[in-house]
Structure 1
Amino acid sequence: MHDDRHIHKKRFGQHFLHDADILRRIVQAIGPKPGDRLVEIGPGDGALTIPLLRALGALTVIELDRDLIPRLHSAAQGIGELDIVNADVLGVDLTALANGARLRVVGNLPYNISSPILFHCLDHLDAISDMHFMLQKEVVERMAAAPGSKVYGRLSVMLQLACRVEPLLGVPPGAFRPPPKVDSAVVRMTPLPTEQRPVVDRQVIARVVRHAFGQRRKTLGNALNEVMSPEHIVAAGVDPRTRAEQLTPQEFVRLAAIVCESSASAEPFLT
């Protein structure tokens, strides 16, 4: 007898969700409405795709594994219009895909490249109205962490400067096929209004944050010594004796603003 089950590919980080109750709760959290311009990243075998398509009538999905495309087309037959983009999401221009509208982005993200996908979405934030992602629970905890937390870091700062981050529900390994070795969680990210986002160049903020957390046991005066002097740190209203995890996202913005203002301090960023 022919077995047409999909062989899960490790290189794509494939873990397909099959728990009906979890799927229902995710769809409920997304709240899809006809007319929404929704894009799903990594639809897999369509477990979330089909209920979303049923609610929307039309849906775009981005899937790298070409072997899944005939299955998705077949599953969508008679339910709605499914547009499949066969590509690596990191190479997809989400702003162009939005075509002047605002995208709602959802996805069970491959855990091996979840952070790059999140940062890719930040690059297209003005074309996105909200995001609902399934991620490794530990990653969601880092995304939503407050200053002072052991897991507060680069991801926390950069995402919270751009979005409101809300963990929604935990998902056990048994909800997937094959089960991953870690717990998962669903998170909602809502872009902040433009006026609430930093006016300072995000690349400069990112570099300051990377240096600060790159040696998180060191004081900022030491960790940022290639970027700015202790005097500049003080000028930003920050004590050079503090450590990165003690700073709020807005304090990192103030540090980056000082870097931008000082041509001497900005030199490392030009090399």
Structure 2
Amino acid sequence: MAIKPCIAQKEVTLHILKTFGIHMSKKLGQNFLIDNNVVAGIVSAANVCEGEPVLEIGPGIGTLTQALAEAGAEVTAVELDRRLLEILGRTLEGYNNVRVIHGDILKIDISREINKEKYKVVANLPYYITTPIIMKFLEERQPVELLVTMVQKEVAQRMVAKPGGKDYGSLSVAVQYYTEPEIMFIVPPQAFIPKPAVESAVIRCTVRTVPPVELVSEKMFFRVVKAAFAQRRKTLANGLKSAGLSKEELEQVLTQAQIDGGRRGEQLSLAEFAAIANAWSKIVSDS
């Protein structure tokens, strides 16, 4: 049972902001959720269980935090905007399963703040910093089993994109290498104040326990991916030359990987990127 009024309502949110004299920060990408169905949908997508550790990024005034707490999660919420700490102290008062930390999620020692074998990340992320935050957790191999995040719809589409389309790029490859992503639902601008200029999407990324491809070197894999998408109009062969392969090495790599160098990066699957990376790694080890 709720112990406070539901924050995810326009009237309640406006009252809180007015009471504390808070104006939304464009710099921090602040848009506050005012649709409880959306909030409930995010919590449902995260499949939160009683006592389960959850890390929330950017709790704002506690809208999603409140729902996570009432679902029984043990919430650690990291908020950058110091002005909101007093508000969170009031809106989340009485929830003994919530801990609020002031800090920048890209700079703090996450392992120290949430020292758990496994936890979930649930967040309504500021659009301007979505990708760096998601990639930080994945690249650092944080013990995250699930990320459920609200992002700009176009970013979500890039994360789940398959080879051959304009949305497919290095972000698609990276996210799909580390996780199994799926778009859960689309969120209209009317669900926020102020209304953003774009639609949003809730995306669930289930972190893989085993990578989808076998690699000799993960570093080489991402080097190949970066080269392939550095200039999208370049052919794969030209991209790999720019990344440091000589003409002879390039022919050797493409022959061994059985890949046509005239193709473009946006046409290659994860398995094909892996084949190129493994062939390149073999050349390096043999030389």
Q: TM-score, normalised by structure 1?
A: 0.91
Shift of 1:226: 2.6
Which ranges in structure 1 are unaligned for 5 or more consecutive residues? 267-271
Secondary structure of the residue that 1:180 maps to in structure 2? Answer: coil
- The aligned counterpart of 2:174 is 158
Name the CA shift for 1:64/1:257 in 2 (closer, same or farther; >3 Å).
Answer: same
The alignment of Structure 1 onto Structure 2 pairs a total of residues equal to: 265
Secondary structure of the residue that 1:56 maps to in structure 2? Answer: coil
Name the CA shift for 1:33/1:153 in 2 (closer, same or farther; >3 Å).
Answer: same
Which has the higher mean CA deviation after the structures are superposed, 167-176 or 52-61? Answer: 52-61
Shift of 1:100: 4.1
Which structure 2 residues correspond to residues 118-137 of structure 1 after superposition, within 5 A?
Answer: 118-137=134-153
- The aligned counterpart of 2:228 is 212
Shift of 1:165: 0.4
Is 1:54 paired with 2:77?
no
Name the CA shift for 1:201/1:67 in 2 (closer, same or farther; >3 Å).
Answer: farther
Letter in 2 for 1:40: E
Name the CA shift for 1:107/1:62 in 2 (closer, same or farther; >3 Å).
Answer: same
- The aligned counterpart of 2:262 is 241
Which has the higher mean CA deviation after the structures are superposed, 168-177 or 72-81? Answer: 72-81
CA contact (8 A) 2:122 2:148 kept: yes
Name the CA shift for 1:223/1:48 in 2 (closer, same or farther; >3 Å).
Answer: same
Name the CA shift for 1:230/1:221 in 2 (closer, same or farther; >3 Å).
Answer: farther
CA contact (8 A) 2:52 2:73 kept: no
Shift of 1:103: 1.3
Which has the higher mean CA deviation after the structures are superposed, 66-75 or 118-127? Answer: 118-127
Which has the higher mean CA deviation after the structures are superposed, 116-125 or 182-191? Answer: 116-125
2:108 and 2:210 map into 1 onto residues whose CA distance is 23
2:65 and 2:149 map into 1 onto residues whose CA distance is 13
Which has the higher mean CA deviation after the structures are superposed, 256-265 or 137-146? Answer: 256-265
- RMSD of aligned C-alpha atoms? 2.0
Shift of 1:246: 0.8
Cα deviations by residue, 1:122-143 (Å, 9 ceiling, x for unpaired): 1243501101000000000000
Name the CA shift for 1:265/1:245 in 2 (closer, same or farther; >3 Å).
Answer: farther
1:230 and 1:34 map into 2 onto residues whose CA distance is 56
- The aligned counterpart of 1:70 is 86
CA contact (8 A) 2:56 2:65 kept: yes
Letter in 1 for 2:200: S
Cα deviations by residue, 1:187-228 (Å, 9 ceiling, x for unpaired): 000011235464444333222111111121121111211333
Cα deviations by residue, 1:168-200 (Å, 9 ceiling, x for unpaired): 000011111111111000000001123546444
CA contact (8 A) 1:161 1:250 kept: no
Letter in 1 for 2:132: P
- The aligned counterpart of 1:269 is none
Name the CA shift for 1:265/1:46 in 2 (closer, same or farther; >3 Å).
Answer: farther
Which structure 2 residues correspond to residues 1-271 of structure 1 after superposition, within 5 A?
Answer: 3-56=19-72, 58-194=74-210, 196=212, 198-227=214-243, 228=245, 229-263=250-284
Shift of 1:28: 1.7
Which has the higher mean CA deviation after the structures are superposed, 165-174 or 208-217? Answer: 208-217
Secondary structure of the residue that 1:99 maps to in structure 2? Answer: coil
Letter in 2 for 1:58: E
Shift of 1:80: 2.5
Q: TM-score, normalised by structure 2?
A: 0.86
Letter in 2 for 1:217: R
2:214 and 2:69 map into 1 onto residues whose CA distance is 36
Shift of 1:63: 0.9
